Structure 1
Amino acid sequence: MGITMTDQAAERVKAFLDNRGKGLGLRLGVKTSGCSGMAYVLEFVDELNEDDEVFEDHGVKVIVDAKSMVYLDGTELDYGKEGLNEGFKFNNPNAKAACGCGESFSV
């Protein structure tokens, strides 16, 4: 399946990378945290690791490590604004439940 991005998410990541001035793409991962058990992690990537999988959508590379891929396969990364709040949203078909704030999930 892989990882996909909406147009809005891709444009936002491109803007971040342009402002940063370097980087291969965006790493999407998970860590144990939050009220539901797992939290999403986003960070810029300058070098690939051996176990990384690379997906390209809308001209942007999304890098996922093998351990996180189990939880993220099929996820769509979106970006949106709701009132005064804006940020990335994760449309993850593997998530069985999410906390009220949307920061963590369980599978």
Structure 2
Amino acid sequence: MSEPDISLSENAARRVAAIAARKDAPAILRLAVDGGGCAGFTYVFELADAPDAEDSVAETDGVKLVVDPASLELVRGSQVDFVEDLGGAAFRVTNPNAQSGCGCGSSFSV
């Protein structure tokens, strides 16, 4: 069995479900990669109404994580988690493709 393209941790799934319930929206988190940030690329998270036809979709506990094909090339094999620490609470991507990152944890380079 091959590795999934991308995965969503149970902790992240719970957080997406809670946010979606508050907004009366579907529990679908879209991860996109945008140019910019202090290391070259930045992760962008938003709730989605539905997956697009070409999206890669991962599901954990009924919550979907969707990624467009261009972004998937930069995050393939990654896991999206939700972490809370002294620095705050945020979705965090563990990306095996990133050559370097930044202190804020939201941008990377390949």
Query: What amino acid sits opposite 2:68 in the alignment?
Result: D
**Deviation at 1:102?**
1.3
TM-score, normalised to structure 1, is 0.91
d(CA) in 2 for partners of 1:50 and 1:81?
33
State which drifts further: 34-43 or 2-11: 2-11
Show structure 2 runs of 5+ residues with no match: none
Show structure 1 runs of 5+ residues with no match: none
RMSD over aligned Cα atoms: 1.4
The answer to whether 1:4 aligns with 2:7 is yes
Aligned to 2:81: 78
The answer to whether 1:94 aligns with 2:97 is yes
d(CA) in 1 for partners of 2:29 and 2:73?
18
Q: Which has the higher strand share?
A: 1
Give yes or no for contact 2:17–2:27 (8 Å, CA) kept in 1: no
Identity %: 38
Aligned to 1:46: 49
**Deviation at 1:36?**
0.6
TM alignment of 1:57-76, pairs within 5 A: 57-76=60-79
State which drifts further: 92-101 or 41-50: 41-50
1:27 aligned counterpart, secondary structure: strand
State which drifts further: 48-57 or 74-83: 48-57
- The runs of at least 4 consecutive aligned structure 1 residues that moved more than 6 Å come to none
Give yes or no for contact 1:5–1:58 (8 Å, CA) kept in 2: no
1:29 aligned counterpart, secondary structure: strand
d(CA) in 1 for partners of 2:13 and 2:71?
20
Give yes or no for contact 1:26–1:45 (8 Å, CA) kept in 2: yes
TM-score, normalised to structure 2, is 0.89
2:29 aligned counterpart, secondary structure: strand
1:31 aligned counterpart, secondary structure: strand
